[in-house]
Amino acid sequence: MTSKTSTSYRRAVLGMATGSVDRHVLRGAVEFARLLQLEVLGVFIEDQSLIDLAALPFTRELRLPGHEWRMLEPQRVDDELRAAARQAALLFQREVESQGLACRFEVCRGNPAALASNLMQASDVLILAEPAAFDLLAPGSESAQQAAEAAAAAVLLLPRSGMPRHGPVAVVSADPSDACFELAARIAAAMGEEALAIPPVEPASSVTLMESLQRALGPRHERLLVLRRDPAMPREMPLEVASRRKAPVLVLAS
């Protein structure tokens, strides 16, 4: 197994779409990227399937407030996608570029799952926000998480409330000498916080992990939770913990 340290990561990848990323999420992404000195890549994917669907003669949409069924217009769908991309680019510019971080913003058109797979690299940290955390830019899809797993990339799950301002960096680790604890210690040092090892839990579940965090932290709250991706770990576990604990979860590649 190849170990990663904090210097192995080079880029934070943030998928953007209208209504899916807000300023709190962007600020949390910026803070994390600054801690690890990462370039930030903002990506907006214009889903080609929406335009193809609008071109079908039998496709209809329900228009409000009159509740009338009308044909979809491919040009209007195309215009709306481009307008959403411009809005995302403007938000990215205001919240990321203005902070002086190395960053890029790209607009791609095509199949979201395929584009996500092509974009991800092992040196990436994919930043996702709940409640649509397993969704790069296509609602209902797990393409982002699957792409990150296939590329052995890390995933940072951000709750909508953003990163807490104080608290230890908790890391699920049985060995303080492994790369997972090393990365957590470096992040903690950059934050001015302590790194706190949490023993692995059996069986792996959101309930057992949160109980372990409660025992270790008591009334305190973690500023960040770091854990390693494991085949035995339920896919939804990191998201549930991030959502219920209201703290970011960084999932490292196995």
How much is the pLDDT for 209? 93
**Domain end among 160, 176, 191:** 160
Tens digits of residue pLDDT in 22-47: 777 788 888 889 888 899 999 888 87
Is the pTM higher than 0.85? The answer reads: no
Number of domains the chain contains: 2
* Angstrom distances, CA of residue 28 to CA of 14, 163, 191, 234: 11, 6, 13, 25
Same domain, 90 and 186: no
Residue type, 98: S
Same domain, 168 and 130: no
Same domain, 37 and 74: yes
Tens digits of residue pLDDT in 187-213: 999 999 999 999 888 888 999 999 999
Residue of 76, 24, 20, 26 lying closest to 53 (CA atoms) = 76
Same domain, 36 and 80: yes
Judged against a pLDDT cut of 90, whether residue 8 lies above it is answered with: no
- CA 155 to chain centroid, in Å, comes to 6
Judged against a pLDDT cut of 60, whether residue 118 lies above it is answered with: yes
Residues 6 or more apart whose CB falls under 8 angstroms from that of 22 comprise 129, 160
How much is the pLDDT for 139? 36
Percent of the chain clearing pLDDT 90 (strictly above) = 22
**3-class DSSP state of 152:** coil
Same domain, 178 and 244: yes
Tens digits of residue pLDDT in 71-81: 667 778 788 88
Residue 50 lies in a domain: yes
- 100-113 in b/e burial notation, b at 16+ Cβ within 10 A? ebebebebbeebbb
Same domain, 47 and 127: yes
Same domain, 142 and 221: no
d(CA 184, CA 172): 10
Higher model confidence: residue 97 or residue 161? Answer: 97
CB-count burial class (<10 Å; 0-12, 13-18, 19+) for 31: middle
Range of the domain at 227: 164-254
**Domain end among 139, 160, 181:** 160
